[in-house]
Amino acid sequence: MNKPDVLVVGGGVVGCAVALEAAGRGATVVLLERERLAAGASYGAGGMLAPQVEADRPGPLLELGLRARAMFPGWCAALEGAAGLDMGGILRVVATEAGADALRERARWQRAMGLVARLCDPAECAELAPGGASAVLGLWVPDGRVDAHGFTLAVAQAALRAGAQIRLGVPVSRVLDGAVEAAGTRWEAGAVVVAAGAWSGLLCGVPVAPVKGQRLMLRHTGAPLPLTLWSDRCYLVPKAGGRVLVGATEEPEAGFDRRATVAGVAALAAAAAATLPALAAAELEEAWAGFRPAAPDRLPLLGRLPGHERTWLATGHHRNGILLAPLTGLLLAEAILEGAALPAACDPGRLQA
Ligand SMILES: Cc1cc2nc3c(=O)[nH]c(=O)nc-3n(C[C@H](O)[C@H](O)[C@H](O)COP(=O)(O)OP(=O)(O)OC[C@H]3O[C@@H](n4cnc5c(N)ncnc54)[C@H](O)[C@@H]3O)c2cc1C
């Protein structure tokens, strides 16, 4: 492809979603990825679609998250592959009275917004999550989950079917206005979209930094966990084949240190067993660490790279990049190809000194 309409940098969930939405609108699209698809955070994320659990208050993150969550059933129905969508809800449990007060307050403001947020007494918690440690109170919300890796690969496949080209093993070294340099070659495009996750800051000089997160994958042979269970200490996300994902540490000081550490694994393993005691006997299948791409205000950067006309940013999704990917793809494709406005709260210009 000589000069594509859209050139995407990064083959994580966000880059693949932008490629799919742009190609689906008839644009010519090339995606450049330096390693393999889902080489970054999108490989090992919890996959929770959790705007109601993640948001501590009303605001733009919750609004974007709710819009994004509503897109998943339609999106996943159109994908081929093991996206693992389940909209069976998330149960957040607390073990202290202070935690219960906070949960009641969360239920109050979410209901005031017209959202479903159901408080559950200990008996209801035990029914929803059999085998869970005793809780003082629970809050069930209609959030969901996917398999982050499977979803990302399925989105990439759909982008290919829509006509996008995906080039793997191509490290982009420089981002220009409407062009990039990669492995000694200059690639021109109608529009460039930087979706390089936690590395976007290194590529473009924007304030996006890695927030390291470790998580475990456990092989659990006991009674399957029927829904995502979020306690004071960790979250447990059911995965295919009886597996349970345990997340996650938050280590902003660790930079790009990719190692799963003894301290991280020990803390997560103890938290998992405290939340669902049967997991003490589970097999540790994988310990993994990835990097959430985070802006100082923890909101995404969606819009033109400041000072550029034809280079755009789709990054900074922090803890919610799997959830926000379909919406990001849609918003960027509409903005680039149709001139639609992007959410003001996500304007990259807000972070300029
Ligand atoms: C432990 C953990 C748990 C999480 N749980 C959840 C969750 O439950 N729900 C949720 O919604 N989100 C979750 N997240 C966040 C989510 O994983 C991220 O927000 C999301 O994956 C970011 O996607 P991305 O495509 O922007 O970045 P990435 O997935 O990191 O992809 C970036 C890609 O760009 C490529 N790249 C980088 N630099 C270059 C370059 N110079 N040239 C070419 N390619 C390049 C990388 O190789 C990589 O493949 C979690 C994250 C972590 C770490």
Which structural domain range is residue 155 located in?
6-48+148-207+296-351
Position 328, amino acid: T
Q: How far is the CA of 295 from the centre of ligand 1 (A)?
A: 14
Give the CA radius of gyration of the chain.
Answer: 20
> Six-digit token pair at 112?
């005031």
Phi then psi for 352, rounded to 5 degrees?
-80, 140
For the chain, the domain total comes to: 2
User: How far apart (Å, rounded) are the C-alpha atoms in residues 270 and 116?
Assistant: 31
Q: Are residues 129 and 216 in the same domain?
A: yes
Q: What is the CATH number of the domain that holds 121?
A: 3.30.9.10
**Ligand 1 mutation pick, 52, 166, 214, 320, max ligand atoms within 8 A of CB:** 320
Q: Are residues 23 and 103 in the same domain?
A: no
Locate the ligand 1 atom nearest the alpha carbon of residue 39 and give its number.
49
Vertex 245, ends 242 and 247: CA angle to 5°?
160
> Which parts of 183-282 are beta strand (E)?
185-188, 191-194, 209-219, 228-230, 235-238, 243-247
For residue 79, being part of any structural domain is answered with: no
Q: Does ligand 1 come within 6 angstroms of the Cβ of 86? A: no
For residue 73, being part of any structural domain is answered with: no
- Give DSSP secondary structure letters for 176-204: ETTEEEETTEEEE-SEEEE--GGGHHHHH
Q: Which DSSP category does 169 fall into?
A: S
Q: How far is the CA of 198 from the centre of ligand 1 (A)?
A: 7
Phi-psi category of residue 287: left, alpha or beta, with phi > 0 → left and psi -120 to 50 → alpha: beta
Q: Are residues 218 and 333 in the same domain?
A: no
Q: Are residues 115 and 155 in the same domain?
A: no
Closest Cα to atom 41 of ligand 1: 172
Q: Are residues 267 and 214 in the same domain?
A: yes
Q: Are residues 180 and 123 in the same domain?
A: no
Q: Are residues 11 and 124 in the same domain?
A: no
Mean pLDDT rounded to a whole number for the chain: 96
CA atoms within 13 A on the CB side of 281: 5
User: Which of 292, 311, 342 lies at the terminal end of a domain, its last residue?
Assistant: 292
For residue 68, being part of any structural domain is answered with: no
Give tens-digit pLDDT for 82-131: 899 999 999 999 999 999 999 999 999 999 999 999 999 999 999 999 99
Q: How far is the CA of 45 from the centre of ligand 1 (A)?
A: 8
Q: Does ligand 1 come within 6 angstroms of the Cβ of 138? A: no
Q: How far is the CA of 239 from the centre of ligand 1 (A)?
A: 19
Give tens-digit pLDDT for 197-236: 999 999 999 999 999 999 999 999 888 999 999 999 999 9
The answer to whether 121 and 104 have CB atoms below 8 angstroms apart is: no
> For each of the chain's 353 residues, which pLDDT tens digit applies?
689 999 999 999 999 999 999 999 999 999 999 999 999 999 999 999 999 999 999 999 999 999 999 999 999 999 987 899 999 999 999 999 999 999 999 999 999 999 999 999 999 999 999 999 989 999 999 999 999 999 999 999 999 999 999 999 999 999 999 999 998 999 999 999 999 999 999 999 999 999 999 999 999 988 899 999 999 999 999 999 999 999 999 999 999 999 999 999 999 999 999 999 999 999 999 999 999 999 999 999 999 999 999 999 999 999 999 999 999 999 999 999 999 999 999 999 999 86
For residue 81, being part of any structural domain is answered with: no
For residue 308, being part of any structural domain is answered with: yes
User: How far apart (Å, rounded) are the C-alpha atoms in residues 16 and 31?
Assistant: 8
User: How far apart (Å, rounded) are the C-alpha atoms in residues 234 and 269?
Assistant: 9
Q: Report pTM.
A: 0.98
Q: How far is the CA of 50 from the centre of ligand 1 (A)?
A: 17
Q: Are residues 35 and 107 in the same domain?
A: no
User: How far apart (Å, rounded) are the C-alpha atoms in residues 54 and 138?
Assistant: 15
Position 246, amino acid: V
Q: Does ligand 1 come within 6 angstroms of the Cβ of 40? A: yes
Q: Are residues 281 and 234 in the same domain?
A: yes
User: How far apart (Å, rounded) are the C-alpha atoms in residues 349 and 306?
Assistant: 6
Q: Are residues 242 and 231 in the same domain?
A: yes
Q: What is the CATH number of the domain that holds 165?
A: 3.50.50.60
The C-alpha torsion from 248 through 249 and 252 to 253, rounded to 10°, is -160
User: Which of 276, 292, 308 lies at the terminal end of a domain, its last residue?
Assistant: 292
Q: Which DSSP category does 99 fall into?
A: H
For residue 115, being part of any structural domain is answered with: yes
Q: Does ligand 1 come within 6 angstroms of the Cβ of 143? A: no
Q: Does ligand 1 come within 6 angstroms of the Cβ of 153? A: no
Locate the ligand 1 atom nearest the alpha carbon of residue 48 and give its number.
8
Q: Are residues 257 and 153 in the same domain?
A: no
For residue 75, being part of any structural domain is answered with: no
Q: Does ligand 1 come within 6 angstroms of the Cβ of 315? A: yes
For residue 43, being part of any structural domain is answered with: yes
Give all strands of the β-sheet with 209-219 in edge-to-edge order. Answer: 118-120, 137-141, 90-94, 228-230, 235-238, 243-247, 209-219, 283-294
Q: Are residues 230 and 136 in the same domain?
A: yes
User: Which of 274, 292, 310 lies at the terminal end of a domain, its last residue?
Assistant: 292
Greatest CA separation for the chain: 63
